[in-house]
């Protein structure tokens, strides 16, 4: 037994700290009691393929390295970034709700007098290594220390582009609360976050932070950071409800019918933050296309255009074979087809869903042109002509 512990300690000593830690003790016992845990792993609400499908590994490599496509997988110029300042955030939102997209899936939500930070990634790469892995395509809009205090940091799952070791270590020195899916607390404790600041939730469990109710809701994805992934940490989307407003963050997810159930129980929402990037035919079940993301938003809004859709999980890292600008262009077409209001801020640009929305397609200024017909959601017969006049230009 002593030899086994020595071997485990030795392996941990040589592996990157960014791998985190495996759940153990009472945390692991709680995981095993979860209704979403079966046969030694967390399971999705619908059958989900987490490994590349739709072609061989060689086909995937060809898609990534095809010379004629490589130039389109990144911007052709400098991505515009709004340098978020203290003045931007010091003034309370007039409507009580303000969103600031920090890039990728990171969003600061100021809601009913509270501040919630989703999936913050301030690191240079989403990788366990400082010298290799996908590198950010634009700088962060402001230093993390300049962000000011936040009431809660919400993590959707433990992949590197959502749970970032340098960012968590910086936030560990604050007094913020971390609201996380079941099992993710093992990583955070290993990195120095005290257990009393963790709110670890299973799907449909809620916690109160000030006047907010934060609820972990289902998503269709997977987990893992190390060389072997035991699926012992849960992935989640999130509903946040204040006294006056409600928002939803999708995390990473494939499309599934559960969006309708989430909308019926926790919606409708004043704003949704929906993953619409890093999709591919090789992994159709774990990320959504912009068409699917727009459909998910409508499901969350009980089938009708409502609130504001903020596209996330695009623009900051190149993580799939599709052109860098495609998620923006495709989401714009999908939203216009169904009359859904959509916000396209540059990274760091605060906006209020109840106010004037940033809708300029800024990516066109720094990308090669894309010419194709976009598949879009079907317009429901119940959608009125007035609904179809919601999306405009600033």
Q: What is the pTM of this model?
A: 0.91
Strands (E), the chain: 37-38, 41-42, 97-103, 106-111, 114-118, 152-154, 177-181, 198-201, 206-209, 212-217, 237-241, 246-249, 271-275, 308-312, 350-351
- Residue 390: the pLDDT is 42
- Residue 310: the pLDDT is 99
Three-state DSSP state, 262: helix
- Residue 391: the pLDDT is 39
- Residue 68: the pLDDT is 63
Three-state DSSP state, 246: strand
Instruction: Tell me the C-alpha distance between 198 and 178, whole Å.
Output: 5
Helix segments in 173-320, DSSP class H: 185-190, 258-266, 290-300
- pLDDT averages per 10-residue partition of the chain, 394 residues: 46 75 95 95 81 59 64 88 92 97 98 98 94 95 94 98 97 96 97 97 98 98 79 94 98 97 98 97 93 98 97 97 96 98 98 98 94 86 48 38
Instruction: Tell me the C-alpha distance between 53 and 125, whole Å.
Output: 26
**288 contacts 246 by C-beta, under 8 angstroms:** no
Nearest to 300 by CA among 255, 354, 252: 255
- Residue 3: the pLDDT is 47
Burial class (CB in 10 A: 0-12, 13-18, 19+), 205: middle
Instruction: Tell me the C-alpha distance between 392 and 381, whole Å.
Output: 22
Instruction: Tell me the C-alpha distance between 337 and 376, whole Å.
Output: 7
């Amino acid at each position: 037994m002593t030899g086994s512990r020595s071997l485990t300690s030795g392996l941990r000593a040589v592996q990157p700290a960014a791998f985190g830690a495996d759940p153990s003790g009472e945390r692991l016992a709680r995981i095993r009691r979860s209704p979403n845990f079966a046969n030694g792993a967390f399971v999705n609400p619908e059958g989900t393929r987490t490994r590349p499908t739709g072609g061989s590994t060689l086909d995937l490599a060809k898609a990534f390295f095809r010379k004629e496509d490589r130039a389109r997988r990144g911007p052709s110029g400098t991505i515009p970034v709004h340098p978020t300042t203290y003045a931007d955030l010091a003034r309370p939102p007039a409507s009580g709700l303000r969103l600031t997209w920090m890039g990728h899936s990171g969003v600061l939500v100021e809601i009913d007098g509270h501040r919630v930070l989703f999936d913050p990634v301030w690191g240079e790469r989403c990788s366990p290594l400082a010298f290799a892995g996908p590198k950010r395509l634009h700088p962060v809009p402001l230093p993390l220390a300049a962000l000011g205090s936040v009431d809660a940091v919400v993590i959707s799952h433990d992949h590197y582009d959502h749970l970032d070791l340098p960012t968590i270590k910086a936030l560990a020195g604050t007094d913020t609360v971390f609201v996380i899916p079941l099992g993710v607390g093992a990583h955070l404790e290993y990195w120095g976050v005290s257990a009393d600041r963790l709110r670890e939730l299973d799907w449909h469990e809620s916690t109160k932070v000030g006047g907010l109710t934060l609820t972990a809701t289902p998503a269709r994805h997977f987990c893992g950071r190390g060389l072997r992934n035991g699926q012992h940490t849960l992935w989640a989307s999130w509903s946040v409800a204040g006294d006056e407003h409600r928002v939803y963050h999708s995390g990473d997810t494939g499309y599934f019918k559960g969006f309708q159930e989430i909308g019926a129980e926790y919606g409708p929402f004043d704003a949704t933050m929906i993953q619409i990037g890093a999709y591919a035919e090789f992994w159709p079940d774990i990320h959504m296309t912009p068409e699917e993301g727009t459909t998910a938003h409508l499901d969350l809004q009980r089938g009708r255009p409502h609130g504001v859709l903020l596209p996330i999980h695009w623009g900051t890292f190149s993580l799939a074979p599709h052109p860098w600008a495609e998620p923006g262009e495709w989401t714009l077409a999908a939203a216009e087809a169904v009359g859904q209001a959509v916000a396209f801020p540059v990274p760091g640009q605060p906006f209020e869903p109840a106010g004037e929305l940033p809708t300029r397609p800024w990516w066109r200024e720094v990308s090669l042109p894309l010419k194709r017909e976009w598949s879009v959601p079907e317009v429901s017969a119940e959608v009125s002509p007035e609904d179809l006049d919601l999306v405009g230009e600033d």
